[in-house]
Amino acid sequence: MSARQQQARIQVLQNEIDQLQARLGKDGNADQIVARHIKLLHQYNEAKDAAQILIGRLAAHRGVTIRELHNDYGLTDQD
């Protein structure tokens, strides 16, 4: 790779860094953003687990399968 190509590559990478930093904001701290994201994922998973338990109990109470209950409520496998 020539010196000119290296400089061009460095400039491309610096531009990418600048764009990502702009998305984070001036005071954006990547560690804080990641920690918040992990916390939110944990909360989401807890809520989803609780919903699945309730759906399982409702299905048992009605004497139907969980899949049938999902179909009744228009839920997909990803819900």
Q: Is 76 a residue whose pLDDT tops 90?
A: no
Compute the distance between CA of residue 40 and CA of residue 53 in angstroms, rounded to an integer.
Answer: 20
Compute the distance between CA of residue 18 and CA of residue 10 in angstroms, rounded to an integer.
Answer: 12
Q: pTM above the 0.75 mark? A: no
Q: What is the pLDDT of residues 44-72, one digit of tens each?
A: 999 999 999 999 999 999 999 999 999 99
Q: What is the pLDDT of residues 1-11, one digit of tens each?
A: 899 999 999 99
Q: If we measure between CA atoms, which residue out of 74, 69, 72 comes closest to residue 59?
A: 69
Q: What is the pLDDT of residue 79?
A: 66
CB 56 within 8 A of CB 66: yes
Compute the distance between CA of residue 15 and CA of residue 64 in angstroms, rounded to an integer.
Answer: 57
Residue 31 structure tokens: 């560690």
Higher-pLDDT residue of 47 and 33 is 47
Every domain of the chain and the residues it spans: 3-72
Q: What's the Rg (C-alpha) of the chain?
A: 24
